[in-house]
Amino acid sequence: MTQMLASVADAEEALLVARGGADIVDFKDPARGAIGAVEPAIVAQALLALGGAARASATLGDPPYEAQALLERARALKRVGVDTLKLALDGASLAALRAPLAELAREIGLVGMLFADEAPDFDLIPQLAALGFVGAMLDTRRKGQGRLIDHLDIARLGVFCARCRSAGLTSGLAGSLEAPDIPRLLLVAPDILGFRGALCVARDRVAGIDRQAVELVRDLIPRERIADAPNVDWRLLGRGLAGEEEREDDLDRIFVRDFVIHTEIGAYDFEHGKRQRVAFDVEALVRRVGSEPRDMRAIFSYDVIMDAIRIVAAQGHHEFLEGMAEAVAAVVLRHERARSVRIVARKLDVIDGAVGVEIVRRRAAAAAASVPHRLGL
User: Catalytic site residues?
Assistant: 28, 86
3-state SS class at 219: helix
Would you tell me how many other CB atoms lie within 10 Å of the CB of residue 44?
17
- Cα separation, 351 vs 283, whole angstroms: 25
CA distances (Å), origin 120, targets 32, 115, 188: 22, 6, 18
**Helices 40-50 and 11-19, axial angle in degrees (round to 10):** 40
Within the chain, residue ranges assigned H as helices are 11-19, 40-50, 67-79, 91-96, 98-105, 124-131, 148-151, 154-167, 181-186, 211-220, 302-313, 321-332
Q: In this structure, are strands 275-287 and 251-264 parallel, antiparallel, or unpaired?
A: antiparallel
Is there a contact between 7 and 113 (Cβ–Cβ < 8 Å)? no
3-state SS class at 327: helix
